[in-house]
Structure 1
Amino acid sequence: MTTSLRNRTRVLILLLAVLLLGSVGTGAVLYAADRSAERDRAQPGGPVVTRGTVSLKPGQAGTLVFRNMAWGPHRDELATVAADHPDGPRTASGVQCLRFFTAGGTGICLQAERGALQDSYRAVVLDDRLHELRSFPAAGIPTRSRVSPSGHLAAWTVFVSGDSYAGTDFSTRTSIVDVRDGNLRDNLEDFDLIKDGKPYRAPDVNVWGVTFADDNTFYATVATGGRTHLVRGDLAARTLTTVHENVECPSLSPDGTRIAYKKRVADASPDAPWRLYVLDLATMTETATAEQRNIDDQAVWSDGSTLLYALPGDFGADLWTVPADGGGAAVRLLEAAVAPAFPG
């Protein structure tokens, strides 16, 4: 075979190899795309989610903001839907949060930063257009977040060890920041605890689940000695004062007179110990809601008479409502959603 013929043969073989590899690569891309689309369709009849503008501006009556849990390109993004048409199309923001809350035009978004060996977390303060204003390192896995009615204060709780409130082998870190100047109270366990009218100190004190009355007064849960307590916090005085026992993840009503919370009930499974209750702060009267399932969430007041909370669902979580007065029945409001809030 002549040198010229051998060279032409080599070129032809090279071209065939390139074409073959290109076909294989294209097929792999198309296959991956088909598999991705198949995964997005894995839950038939799921909500329609499209990218758009999401605003936290106050005064948007009837708008619900939440973490979208529907499978697809917008999973874990903040999204909105009309509260009176919750099965309608959703608008996704492009901003991902593990936990979220908003009030007064301020949002608090707890985010994961994926690492090669270990994830880290941060608390991000957002303005009403979801632009980042400030961020703070978070010491562990995000679990609760709240904003004061004015939008001036934001709070968050993370697990620094353990990953469930159900047992006793866990530790939390709860922080409050003034979003105007960045003044951070990094650990509410540093506040003075007044238990049953007396100063109290113990190495096992845990604090979690802030809910704000105003820019100084808040409520939270304190655990110590194997018991949980509702405490009233005073930001200026740096004090936590016990108010009632067996209260976890409190949520203050819009008029400031009642606390919705999860309560450990007798004879319940250790893995599912909580039911949803409402406490009248004036009389300390407890009312059990009609929701009889285990509630591991910090409920939100959708108005003065209705509670909104998450339960496990096909996509991870769904949002349910129940009357706060003990009547009625639990109703599913929104599938594939968690961490709800109403801009206000």
Structure 2
Amino acid sequence: MTTRLRLLVLVAVALALTVGLTGYVLRSRGDASAVAAGGSSHGSSHGQVRLDAPGRILFRDTAPGPGFGQLASVPTARPDGPRSTGGLLCDRLYAARGTGICLQRKGPVPATYVTVLDSGLHQVRQVRTAGFPNRARVSASGRMLSWTTFVQGDSYLRDDFSTRTSILDTRTGRLTDSIESIPLTLNGHAYHASDVNYWGVGFAADDNTFYATVRTGGSTYLVRGDYRRWTARTLLSNVECPSLSPDGTRVVFKKRVNASANRPWRLYVLDLATLTETPLAELHSIDDQAAWLDGHTVLYGRVRPSGDGWDVWSVPADGSGTPRLLIPDASSPSVQPGP
């Protein structure tokens, strides 16, 4: 082999190695990017999460790995399929009609940052408040936002807990930092007490009427509030974390049914016209503000018996059927209805 031929062979080999190495590096970078974007044991698609995409369930990804805590979504028709992740970390979240709310705890001193999101997950506004993230809701129109934090204690089972619940009107920009000052009528009488705590506010379709839990004197009540008139009235006792049905006629809530700290709550649905309560087929204790998958089904986060993770389950809203595992390794669900 001549010297010139040897040189040509060496050049060709070098080029081949370079091309192969470049392809490997690009593939590796692509794989790493996919993992960084929130890959999990359940699979992850590369589509961007949007809050105005119809027919999807939004939730907090709790699968072990780099995507833990990120906002994610799956198709309503295939909730156990690959999930898309948005790269945004949230401890509690909710979305409706292209508007989202993300609660995240930051800093060594307990503080919650409440981020209002547009349909493309861009920050519209951010509010800092004291305490730990707890509950979040967006009205069906996307206008009225509410959130609750624990400012003392970290469980509704503790007698010393204290909450702060805020309301934001995104149309006017009005922020009510705490609703505890709202005039309360309890059992038909004007009521004032220093231990009043509200949580779990959710608005009706008129963006004025809202339902929430109030606790005072060691008891909890369902209240109906009027935002413009700034009044609230109790409707029923032993109701926590109400969530209004799509047609506005019912609320799903958790009810204290046991004094034991292991199984204290059960999910019920309340008919608002008759105040008739229906226990649901979910027998596990559920410490969550359930949501509605549709007019016939509710969904909620459920802690595993081992205590090592969360999953999203669903159950019929009429008391029939059995609970169904909907989204493994997930919490804080909300539904973006189909077209």
Q: Under TM normalisation by the shorter chain, which class is it?
A: 0.7 to 0.9
1:48 to 43, 46, 71: 43
For 1:192-203, list aligned pairs within 5 A.
Answer: 192-203=183-194
AA in 2 matched with 1:343? Q
Matched, 1:321 2:314: yes
Residues 121 and 51 of structure 1, relative CA distance in 2, 3 Å threshold: farther
Which residue of structure 1 lines up, in the alignment, with residue 141 of structure 2?
150
Which residue of structure 2 aligns with residue 84 of structure 1?
A: 77
Residues 49, 74 of structure 1: 8 Å contact kept = no
Per the TM alignment, residue 111 of structure 1 is displaced from its structure 2 partner at its CA by 1.3
1:98 and 1:91 map into 2 onto residues whose CA distance is 17
Alpha-carbon distance in 1 for matches of 2:42, 2:303: 17
Match of 1:299 in 2: 290
Seen in structure 2, the aligned counterparts of structure 1 residues 119 and 50 have a Cα distance that, compared at 3 Å, is farther
Residue of structure 1 in register with 2:162 after alignment:
171
Query: For structure 2, which runs of at least 5 residues remain unmatched after alignment?
Result: 1-31
User: Percentage identity across aligned positions?
Assistant: 53
Deviation at 1:271, TM superposition (A): 4.1
Does residue 236 in structure 1 map to residue 228 in structure 2? yes
Could you say which residue in structure 1 is the equivalent of 2:64? Answer: 71
Q: Aligned partner of 1:56: which letter?
A: L
Q: What is the CA-CA distance between 1:79 and the residue it aligns to?
A: 0.7
What letter matches 2:249 in structure 1? T
Confirm or deny: 8 A CA contact 1:86 1:333 kept in the other structure: yes
Task: Give 3-state SS (helix, strand or coil) of 2:294's partner.
Answer: coil
**Residue identity opposite 1:276 in structure 2:** L
User: Among 95, 117, 123, which residue is 1:132 paired with?
Assistant: 123
**Matched residue, 2:87:** 94
Equivalent position of 1:34 in the other structure: none
Match of 1:283, SS?
coil
Instruction: Report the Cα offset of residue 83 of structure 1.
Output: 2.0
1:188 aligns to what?
A: 179
- For the 8 Å contact 1:125–1:179, the answer to whether it is kept is no
Report the equivalent of 1:221.
Answer: 213
Give the match's secondary structure for 2:185: strand
Decide which of 257, 278, 286 is 2:277's aligned counterpart.
286
Residue in 2 that maps onto 1:12: none
Letter of the structure 2 residue corresponding to residue 135 of structure 1 = Q
Q: Match for residue 250 of structure 2?
A: 258
The CA deviation string for residues 227-265 of structure 1, in whole angstroms up to 9 with x for no partner, is 100000111111111011110000011111111000011
Tell me, yes or no, if the aligned pair for 1:232 and 1:243 is still in contact at 8 Å: yes
Encode CA deviations 1:25-68: one digit per residue, 9 max, x unaligned.
xxxxxxxxxxxx9xx9xxxx93113554111116x02x111111
**Runs of 4+ residues deviating >3 angstroms:** none
Q: CA RMSD in A?
A: 1.7
Q: Please give the secondary structure, in 2, of the residue aligned with 1:190.
A: coil
Relative to structure 1, is the Cα distance of residues 119 and 241 closer, same or farther in structure 2, using a 3 angstrom cutoff? closer
- The 5 Å alignment of 1:34-45 reads none
| 1:88 partner letter | G
What is the Cα deviation at residue 157 of structure 1? 0.4
Partner of 2:103: 110
Instruction: State the distance in 2 between where 1:154 and 1:231 align.
Output: 17
What is the CA distance between 1:120 and its match in structure 2?
A: 2.7
| Letter matched to residue 43 of structure 2 | V
Q: Give the drift of 1:87.
A: 2.1
Match of 2:325 in 1: 332
Maintained 8 Å contact 1:141/1:159: yes
The residue identity in structure 2 corresponding to 1:278 is V
How far did 1:149 drift? 1.1
Q: Partner amino acid for 2:251?
A: I
Q: Matches of 1:102 and 1:264 in 2, distance apart? A: 28
Contact 1:223/1:229 (8 A) holds in 2: yes
Counterpart CA distance in 2 for 1:219 and 1:254 is 14
TM-score relative to the length of structure 1: 0.83
Question: Which runs of 5 or more structure 1 residues have no equivalent in the other structure?
Answer: 1-36
Paired with 1:310 and 1:240, the residues of 2 have a C-alpha distance of: 28
Aligned residues: 297
Structure 1 residue 136 displacement after superposition: 0.6
Three-state SS of the structure 1 residue aligned to 2:318 is: coil
